[in-house]
Each structure stands twice: as structure tokens, then as C-alpha cells.
Amino acid sequence: MLNGTWKNYENGMEQDMSSTAYALVFGSVMTLGLPLNAVSLWILVRHHSLKSPSAIFMVNLAISDLLLVLTLSMRVYFYATGTWPLGDMACIWITMLFRNNIRSSSIFITFISVDRLLAVVYPLRSRHLRTPYNAWKAVGLVWLFVVVVNIPESVDFSRFLNIYNESSCFEFHHRHPPITAMAYVQPVLVLTMLAVNIVSTILVSLTLTNRLNESARIKNKVNVMLIFAMNLMMFTVFFLPVSLCILFKSWRPYIKPLICLASVNCCLDPLLYYFSFDGFWRRKEDVDTSGARDGWRE
């Protein structure tokens, strides 16, 4: 009895420590991510003309991050208090918004990489593709895609909560939500987007290295490669591990730490905006006049 009581005490202490750590991580991400993304969104809309495909993709990336950040307060409350007062529907919505952030962010970051690839490697032939109209169409399709995927996922998640009568959220005592066919959408999507980013990085790197005469027209070549390096880091560190938990059962016990890690991506995206624009802090009139509106080509 004494051994059993001591083990229960140790398990309780370990659970309390892990919950406190999760609350601190999510609280820190919310504290940093909310002002960083709000200010970035304001600067992108106010100081930069939304006539650049990259600016359009970055605005929507900032919106995606803000939607995630706004849900973190409830994760902080849950892990700090151990209670969930909002019911199943709020749990479903918050879970879906987290998944949407991974999916939409991975697609928008890939769009930014492809746009930079076209601007650097095929600057003349890609002009008819790199238009604001096409960028807005792509953005609309992305949001439609993530919403459509949410519908069957939400239904499956709701059934799980009802069947097992789970009264909490993020912590399930009976079993984890079942693996369905829709669960494979995210890992397949993230792996596909990562492959596109790798190819884009290689092609741009070869262009900047081998075509010296053409690449001389491109400003801040270091910034160009930094952006591609940041994009690859986003995938390999933040998006890929949490997405692959569905494919590898041995990873599933680490799902909560990986969710914490994935949420940090919203704090680093503002760096992407900064390095993407030479005149990030300047007004759009000054940027347009200087000819450095997108910060890539003269």
C-alpha cells in the first residue's frame, strides 16, 4: 500500500510539473506571438501595398498565426487549473484552429518560396503568374481547403468525445482519438510542401551561385537564402515532427511536447516578413519610390 501510494504521489507530482511547463510554454508563445503578429500584420497592410504576391501570402500567414495565438489562452487556463469549463464544441474548435495553423502556414510558406523561386530563376517568364489576382485566388483556395478538411475531422472528434464521455480537453484519460483516413491529410501535406521547399531552395541557390550576371540584379542575396533556410527550419523543427506522430506510434506519447514546439512557429514568422522586405518599416510610398517594394529585384 505504501509503495502504491508513493507511486501515485510521484505520478501526480510529475503530472503537475508537466502541466505547469505546458502552461508556461503556451503562455510565453501567446505573450510574444500576439504583439509580434499583430504589429507585423499592421505594418504589412499599412506600410506595404498588397499588390505583391509575397505580401498577400504574408498577410494571410500572419492572420493564421493570430488565430492560433488567440486560442492559446484556453490551453494555458486548462494546464494551469486542470479544468475545462467550455464544453466539447470549444475543444473541437480550438483543436481545429491548431491544425489549421500547421496546414495553412505550411502552404503559405511554400507559396512564398515558390514566388521567390519564380522571381529569381524565371523573372520574365513568371510575370503573368506572379499577379495579385492569382495570389488572392490561391489564398482563397487554401482557406477553403482547410475548412473543408475540418468538417469530417470535427465530426470524428465529436463522436470520440461523446462515446468516451470526455469532460476535459487536450488530456484524454480513456484513450486517444481514433486514427481515421482524414488524419493522414496533414502529414502528407506537410511532407509534400517540404519537398517543394527543398527543390525551390536548391534551384535558387544554384541560380545565385552560377548565374552571376543575372543574380547581380537581385538585392540582398544573403537575405534571400536566409528566408529559404528559415522556411526549411519551420518545416523540419515545427511542422514535421507533430505531423508525423500520426504515422509513428512510438512518437505518440510525445504529442503534447510536440504541440508546444509547433506553436512556437508563430513567434518566428515575423522574422520572415522582416527579411523579405528591404523597407519593412518604411511606408509603402517610400518603398514604391525606391523600387524596393518586394525587396528582391531592382
Instruction: State pLDDT tens for residues 165-191.
Output: 555 677 655 556 556 677 788 999 999
| Grid cell at residue 166 | 470526455
Tell me which amino acid residue 86 is.
L
Q: How far, in Å, are 3, 46, 201 from residue 59 at the CA level?
A: 56, 11, 22
| Alpha carbons 64 and 283: distance in angstroms, whole number | 24
Residue bearing the bigger pLDDT, 50 or 237 = 237
Q: What is the pLDDT of residue 191?
A: 95
Q: What pLDDT does residue 177 have?
A: 58
Of the candidate ranges 206-215, 231-240, 279-288, the one whose mean pLDDT is the lowest: 279-288
Using CA atoms, how far apart are residues 90 and 223, in angstroms rounded to an integer?
A: 41
Buried (b) or exposed (e) across 191-210, using 16+ Cβ within 10 A?
bebbebbbebbeebeebbee
pLDDT on residue 163: 65
- Cα separation, 115 vs 40, in Å, equals 20
Angstrom distance (rounded) from CA 22 to CA 3: 29
Percent of the chain with pLDDT over 70: 79
Question: What is the pLDDT confidence band of residue 61, given thresholds at 50, 70 and 90?
Answer: very high
Determine which of 14-18, 198-202, 214-218, 236-240 has the lowest per-residue pLDDT on average.
214-218
pLDDT the model gives residue 218: 53
Q: Is the dihedral of CA 170, 61, 27, 76 positive or negative?
A: negative
Q: Is the pLDDT of residue 45 over 80?
A: yes
**Which residues is 297 bridged to in the sheet?**
218
Residues ≥6 apart with Cβ < 8 Å to 159: none
Predicted confidence (pLDDT) at residue 137 exceeds the cutoff of 60:
yes
**DSSP three-state, residue 48:** coil
**More confident of the two residues 174 and 221:** 221
Of the spans 8-12, 135-139, 246-250, which averages the highest pLDDT? 135-139
Confidence of residue 34 (pLDDT cuts 50, 70, 90): very high
Q: Mean pLDDT for the chain?
A: 80
The predicted structure's pLDDT at residue 160: 74
pLDDT above 80: residue 213: no
CATH code at 2-290: 1.20.1070.10
Domain boundaries, given as residue ranges, for the chain: 2-290
The pTM is what?
0.84
Q: Is the pLDDT of residue 8 over 50?
A: no
Q: Average pLDDT for residues 197-216, to the nearest whole number?
A: 78
pLDDT: is 48 or 289 the higher one? 48
Cα–Cα dist 155/178, whole Å: 12
